[in-house]
A and B are shown apart, each in its own frame.
Chain A
Amino acid sequence: MTHLIKGARVLGGDPADLLLEDGRIAAVGERLSAAGATVVDADGLVALPGLVDLHTHLREPGREDAETVETGSRAAALGGFTAVHAMANTDPVADTAGVVEQVWRLGRQAGLVDVVPVGAVTVGLRGERLAELGAMADSAARVRVFSDDGHCVADPALMRRALEYVKAFDGVVAQHAEEPRLTAGAQMNEGDLSARLGLTGWPAAAEEAVIARDVLLAEHVGARLHVCHVSTAGSVEILRWAKSRGVQVTAEVTPHHLLLTETCAESYDPVFKVNPPLRTDADVQALRAGLADGTIDAVATDHAPHAVEDKESEWAQARPGMLGLEQALSVVLETLVEPGLLDWAGVADRMSVRPAAIGRLDGRGPRSHGRPLTPGEPANLLLLDPAARAVVDPAALASRSRNSPYAGRELPGRVVATFLRGEATVLDGKAQK
């Protein structure tokens, strides 16, 4: 299939045509033509490299009632993603080569995005002993990101060993930074509001203490560290300090932590319950600034689908997590692009180039991601209408779950088309399979 995209503004630049052929970008220029090509009118649309998510929960195997690899892949494609990292906290846990290969194969079958499995750091996410990290790295799934997400690798000796061990295959440990002894029973950000609402507090220090410890460990053993879903101003400061010392640390922030604050909890509606919790406005501002100046490397969704019964309950009983794939780019538009904190090149960098590099998907092969939109590169890209605005309707989402924190909220931007290796996974805003 050959596609000829007419008049797209690559990274917001002047309109140009892009010819996609045999899975690659064949040409970029003015007034291109190609016999037999499907023409896509991109007048007024911005072209960006296909987005890469470092943090997605696809729930399969185990909770197919909440999401499957296929439905999550469709949500991802509609959000402009061409690759997603599938977190390991499935049932069974993705802590063996067998499970990561199963997830990888399901992603291949769905064919909407490249599903890149994340391997568990420890057996069963229990934080006791290392899973067979090398076997997962050597498997067909070629795992490079390892995480016990949902749980912190709290034992400092185990964390040190994990950081060291994955150096053998250029892996990275993605830490869910949460000191569990400080967050027993925690429900929301600890502060004035938690005191009033009577919800047990999740102190910022529980995140910051682990990040501080881990950057020192990473420095000591010369390993790569990635910090998941950074949520506090203090964490941004620690990361800035660590980077200034040359520590090999990268970090991500979620769309919801860029937009929403703890005041959402006043409703006691658990759709706003998430781990780490929504924080204060000062934290939100610091996260935006940290993403803008590059202290935070990437936006990652932490897309966490949950069945209705796991959210339609008391706050304390509900599972933490919220949907994110389909609105991630819109939230970045709202919180960073429209206020002038990030340009289109910056969006491409934080949502495609850097996450692909962290996951080691940025090589020169045909299955690489986060590459520039230039001739010869894999044709992974999206077309965005930045002028469109729409009110989020959870019932209209492709995800099998409905726990969107953006329900009823108007957000800018609409992904018109997504291409995975030249094949349209989304056209005219609709998934193609």
Chain B
Amino acid sequence: MKRHLLEAADLDRADATLVLDTAAQIDQALAGREVKKLPTLRGRTVVNLFYEDSTRTRISFELAAKRLSADVINFSAKGSSVSKGESLKDTALTLEAMGSDAIVVRHSASGAPHRLAGWVRGSVVNAGDGTHEHPTQALLDAYTIRRRLGRLDGVRVAIVGDVLHSRVARSNVWLLTTLGAEVTLVAPPTLLPVGVGSWPVQFSYDLDAVLPKADVVMVLRVQLERMNASFFPSAREYSRRYGLDAVRMAALGDEAIVMHPGPMNRGMEIAADVADSVRSTIVEQVGNGVSVRMAVLYLLLGGSPQ
């Protein structure tokens, strides 16, 4: 494992598999235990440096660090020196001077974690940067698929929605293909990046043509403000053409699962009865997120699993 986790594109098959296997070991070690805590990172300090609101990711990382017995500091850009104009670099150096061993960073600017990694000696974990990557989300998605379907090699994954602006989609493209899955991106042409043809994936504008061949459908959140920038004409039209509803779900194979990184727009990209169906792994993904983030922190900060 490298010192930082900046992007899923950095992970080779061995490293990615190591993270998933470690998460599985951690799950096993904690299964049935009353006290869900390991002493592995006692005395280490993890800082959650969040420049964007993200309750679920922040809580997931916080829980992961605490379950490994690390000290956790939450640093949110709101109400801090950042709002007074402190630069990312100064903030990073301040946190390091206070003895942080790892910085988990969420930032609206693509590449911000890369900049951070050049300024601090500790580890940097990318918890989502702009429209670039969200590597731990992809790791937890891969972990969820492997648990549900028993494998990743040859699994056919359809990623549906706003690929252009999605860091989740990018991370999943690199990680899932590294792990042997076959990925198809489905979106209106306006929401696929120029240059998508150079990615190691298929893409389609037709969700109905893709669904019967998918083992996994990963639905992305679509932000309504995209409508105002003419990426699509209306929420209703988007939903009609690319929303996953019960009728479309019926076209899926028996074993196929439905995923969503959350938060969902119910009734927009995913219908409520799909989100709550037995195919849905949405709640499971949240739980797996903690295990996978424990594995990442553990592997970056050292120690051996109990």
Q: How far is the CA of A407 from the CA of B108 in the complex (A)?
A: 28
User: Measured between C-beta atoms, what is the minimum distance from A272 to chain B in Å?
Assistant: 11
**Cβ-neighbour of B199 out of A187, A195, A200, A268 (below 8 A):** A195
Is B193 an interface position by the 8 A CB rule?
yes
Q: List residues of A (162-201) whose CB comes within 8 Å of B's CBs.
A: 187, 190-201
User: Is the Cβ of A314 less than 8 Å from the Cβ of B170?
Assistant: no
- Report Cα–Cα, A314/B51, bound state, in Å: 12
Q: How many of chain A's residues touch chain B, expressed as a range?
A: 20 to 34
Interface residues in B1-45 by Cβ distance below 8 A to A read 9
Closest chain A residue to B9, Cβ basis? A196
A198 touches B131 (CB 8 A): yes
Q: Is the CB of A197 within 8 A of B111?
A: yes
Q: How far is the CA of A191 from the CA of B195 in the complex (A)?
A: 5
Instruction: Tell me the count of chain B residues lying within 8 A, CB to CB, of chain A.
Output: 26
CB under 8 Å from chain B, chain A span 199-215:
199-201, 203
Q: Are A314 and B115 in contact (CB under 8 A)?
A: yes
Contacts of A317 in B (CB 8 A): 109
A309 within 8 A of B: yes
Q: Are the C-beta atoms of B88 and A313 separated by less than 8 Å?
A: yes
Question: Is B156 part of the contact surface with A, judged by Cβ < 8 Å?
Answer: no
Cα distance A187–B109 in the bound complex, in angstroms: 11
Residues on B with C-beta less than 8 A from A192 are 195, 197-198
Q: How far is the CA of A316 from the CA of B131 in the complex (A)?
A: 11
- Assess A190 versus B130: contact at CB under 8 Å? Given A196-B170, A198-B167, A314-B109: no
A64 at interface by CB-CB < 8 Å: no
Q: Which listed residue (A195, A269, A315, A316) contacts B194, Cβ 8 A?
A: A195
Given A196-B9, A198-B132, A312-B89, the answer on whether A203 and B194 have CB atoms closer than 8 Å is: yes
Q: Which residues of A contact B198 (CB under 8 A)?
A: 192, 195-196
Q: Which of A249-274 contact B (CB under 8 A)?
A: 267-269
Residues of chain A within 8 A (CB-CB) of B115 are: 268-269, 313-315
Q: Is B114 an interface residue (CB 8 A)?
A: yes
In the bound complex, how far is the Cα of B132 from the Cα of A314, in angstroms? Answer: 13
Query: Which chain A residues border B131 with CB–CB below 8 Å?
Result: 198-200
What residues of chain A lie closer than 8 Å to B196, measured between beta carbons? 195
**Interface pair B111/A194, CB less than 8 Å apart:** no
- For B111, the chain A residues whose CB sits under 8 A away are 197-199, 268, 314-315
Q: How far is the CA of A201 from the CA of B193 in the complex (A)?
A: 9
- Those of B221-255 within 8 Å (CB) of chain A: none
Q: Check: B110 CB closer than 8 A to any chain A CB.
A: yes
Chain A residues with Cβ below 8 Å from B194 are: 190-191, 194-195, 201, 203
B112 within 8 A of A: yes
Q: How far is the CA of A67 from the CA of B36 in the complex (A)?
A: 58
Beta-carbon nearest neighbor of B198 in chain A: A192
B66 at the interface (CB under 8 A from A): no
Contact yes or no, A199 B110, CB < 8 A? yes
Over the window 102-121 of chain B, the binary record of Cβ atoms lying under 8 Å from chain A Cβ atoms (1 yes, 0 no) is: 00000111111011000000
Cα of A101 to Cα of B107 in the assembled complex, Å: 45
| Contact residue among B87, B109, B197 (Cβ-Cβ distance under 8 Å from A309) | B87
B162 in contact (CB, < 8 A): no
CB distance from B233 to the nearest CB of A (A): 19
**Given contacts A268-B115, A312-B87, are A198 and B107 in contact (CB under 8 A)?**
no
Instruction: Identify the closest chain B residue to A268 (Cβ).
Output: B111
User: Is the beta-carbon distance between A197 and B110 smaller than 8 angstroms?
Assistant: yes
| Complex Cα–Cα for A203 and B194 (A) | 9
Decide if B130 touches A316 in the complex (CB within 8 Å): yes
By the criterion CB–CB under 8 Å, are B193 and A315 in contact? no
Residues in chain B near residue A195, CB distance under 8 A: 193-196, 198-199
- State in angstroms the CA–CA spacing of A267 and B196 once bound together: 21
Q: Does B133 contact A (CB under 8 A)?
A: yes
Are A198 and B195 in contact, with the CB atoms below 8 A? no
Kindly list chain A residues whose C-beta atoms are within 8 Å of the C-beta of B112: 268, 314-315
Closest CB in chain B relative to A234 CB, distance in Å: 15
**Most chain A beta carbons < 10 A, residue from B109, B131, B198, B199:** B109
Asked if B129 is at the interface (CB within 8 A of a chain A CB), the reply is yes
- Most B CB atoms within 10 A — which of A190, A199, A268? A268
A316 in contact with B109 given A195-B199, A198-B129 (CB within 8 Å): yes
Are the CB atoms of A190 and B195 closer together than 8 Å?
Answer: yes
Who on chain B is nearest to A200 by CB? B131
Shortest CB–CB separation between residue B6 and chain A, in angstroms?
A: 10
Question: Contacts of B167 on A, CB cut-off 8 Å?
Answer: 198
Complex Cα distance A198/B133, Å?
8
Q: How far is the CB of A189 from chain B (nearest CB, A)?
A: 10
Mask for B142-166, Cβ within 8 A of A = 1, else 0?
0000000000000000000000000
- In the assembly, what is the distance between CA of A196 and CA of B163, in Å? 11
User: CB-nearest residue of chain B relative to A193?
Assistant: B195
Q: Which residues of A contact B199 (CB under 8 A)?
A: 195-196
**Do the beta carbons of B193 and A313 come within 8 Å of each other?**
no
Closest residue on chain B to residue A198 by CB atoms: B132
A positions within 8 Å CB-CB of B: 187, 190-201, 203, 267-269, 309, 312-317
- List 14 A-B residue pairs with CB atoms under 8 Å apart, sorted by A's residue number: A191-B195, A193-B195, A194-B195, A195-B196, A196-B9, A196-B199, A198-B130, A198-B132, A198-B133, A313-B87, A315-B111, A315-B115, A316-B109, A316-B110
| Known A201-B193, A267-B114; 9 more pairs at CB < 8 Å | A194-B193, A194-B194, A194-B195, A196-B199, A197-B110, A198-B110, A198-B130, A199-B110, A313-B88
